[in-house]
């Protein structure tokens, strides 16, 4: 598989998600839209970043990671999720920016010092758990495009995902710290 066909392969899903019929499948429930679609786009962005391994500048890493985090934060806001259901252009922005966030995180996070990337990962996943608890515990509808049941399901899924990922990062941190302490 040459470079162009690999690039087309990772761009295929974001392009499909812009088609109204495919978008309707993901937009049908909040967990599909705000969780499954988000992570698929992040994964596509991460896969795309693997196609450009040599064009990385470590000095840009903090700015790139901050930009990716802000993009993710923006699409965690209920009003932003609503907007994707009202304006097709907002949905296109959602697809493009989450793809870009995945690209930036995968491209630049490994360039940060190990301690910084682990601290970032722990903070990121704890933020996801906090968001999840917020969505799961609210008895009022936060996203007007979805139902309260959807919102609660989405919240608990975020909590579960966040906790598993947090524990995974902790476990990797332990693996990273133990050899370091043994070598002293």
Partner 1 sequence: MICLFVLGVGGSLLSAWTLGFSAFTSYSYALIKAGPLPRPAPDISFVDQFGDERDLASLRGRHVLLHVFYGSCVTICPIVIEELRELYSGFSAAQRSKIVILSISVDSLRDTTERLLDLWRQVGAFDGWVMAQPSGASFDRVTKEFGIWVFAKTDGTINHSADLFLIDRGGRTVRVFSPQANNDRIRRDLESYL
Q: Kindly tell me which residue out of 11, 22, 62, 152 binds partner 1, with binding defined by CB under 8 A.
A: 62
Q: Does 96 bind partner 1 (CB under 8 A)?
A: no
Size of the site for partner 1 (CB under 8 A): 24
- Residue 60 binds partner 1 (CB under 8 A): yes
For position 175 contacting partner 1 by CB under 8 A, the verdict is no
Residues 76-95 that bind partner 1 (CB under 8 A): 77-80, 82, 85-86
Query: Does 19 sit near partner 1 (CB under 8 A)?
Result: no
Residue number, 20 or 53, with CB nearest to partner 1: 20
Cα–Cα distance measured from residue 60 to residue 103, given in angstroms and rounded to the nearest whole number:
14
12, 16, 25, 70: which one contacts partner 1 (CB under 8 A)?
A: 70
List residues near partner 1 by CB under 8 A.
60, 62-63, 66-67, 70, 73-74, 77-80, 82, 85-86, 139-145, 147-148
């Amino acid at each position: 598989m040459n470079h162009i066909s690999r690039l087309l392969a990772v761009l295929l899903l974001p392009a499909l998600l812009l088609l109204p019929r495919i978008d309707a499948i993901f937009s049908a429930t909040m967990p599909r839209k705000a969780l499954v679609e988000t992570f698929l786009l992040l994964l596509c962005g991460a896969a795309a970043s693997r196609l450009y391994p040599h064009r990385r500048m470590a000095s840009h890493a903090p700015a790139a990671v901050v930009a990716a985090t802000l993009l993710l934060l923006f699409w965690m806001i209920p009003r932003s999720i609503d907007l994707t259901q009202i304006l097709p252009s907002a949905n296109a922005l959602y697809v493009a920016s989450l793809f870009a966030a995945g690209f930036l995180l995968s491209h630049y996070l490994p360039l940060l010092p190990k301690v910084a990337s682990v601290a970032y990962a722990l903070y990121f996943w704890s933020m996801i758990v906090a968001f999840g608890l917020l969505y799961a515990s609210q008895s009022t509808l936060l996203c007007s495009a979805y139902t309260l049941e959807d919102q609660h399901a989405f919240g608990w899924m975020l909590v579960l995902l966040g906790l598993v990922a947090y524990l995974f990062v902790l476990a990797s941190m332990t693996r990273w710290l133990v050899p370091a302490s043994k070598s002293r």
